[in-house]
Amino acid sequence: MKENLYGVILIIHILGGFSAFFSAFIAIFSKILNISHQWHIYSGRIFYYGMLIVFLTSLILTSIKPNLFLALVAIFSFYMTYSGWRMALNRKGIPTKSDYIKAWLMLMVSIVMLLTAGAFIFQSINSGQGIVIAVFGAIGLGLSLGDLRRLKLGSVTGKDRISAHLGMMMGATIAAITAFLVTNFQLNPPWLLWILPAAIISPIISLMNRKLYKGKYF
């Protein structure tokens, strides 16, 4: 019974991942190529709900077959997705309780990720996964602390809001691309596939942010 349920949930998980993966590129290039803004909005919605499906199904899958590593990565990925989504919707930038809750939760999860990574590496258990969790945990810690600093200001508007939306959604896109790569390809050492998308796309995010503040993007 559990195996059948796992198989069904896994199919839903994969479909959600593929929809997020492809809609991410539509959302990004619709802006870069100056295509109708509606394409960006519609593809962004598909991306959000695709990542929501991935997150929820990940929790179910890791409850059927316990896997702390995948559970932590799922939480980390959806935190960025939800944060980016909130920045898109909340044009006035006024924070709500949900904004504080997700920031504090990610802060706590990031600490758990770093501690778990330390245990994995120190005990030589899944050291590759340990490296991945350490990197994601450090990123999550930085993002959640930045999130809390923004919330302390009371509101985030204008280019700051767009920059936060861009950074979080691009970070979530990295997660979607990473999941696609590790599922369909192999590389030695295996943890390189987990790190490579972030290493390549992070400088692009920085470049897009610089262009944004110079008034050359969006």
For residue range 133-163, list pLDDT tens digits in order: 888 899 889 989 988 888 887 777 777 788 8
CA distances from 176 to 25, 35, 71, 126 (A): 11, 23, 15, 22
Distance CA 72, CA 52 (A): 15
> Which pLDDT tens digit goes with each residue over 165-176?
888 888 888 877
pTM, full prediction? 0.83
163 part of a folded domain: yes
The number of folded domains in the chain is 1
Name the residue range of residue 59's domain.
2-213
Distance CA 5, CA 137 (A): 31
111 part of a folded domain: yes
Q: Are 163 and 71 in contact (CB under 8 A)?
A: no
218 part of a folded domain: no
209 part of a folded domain: yes
Can you say whether the dihedral through the CA atoms of 170, 172, 174, 176 is positive or negative? Answer: negative
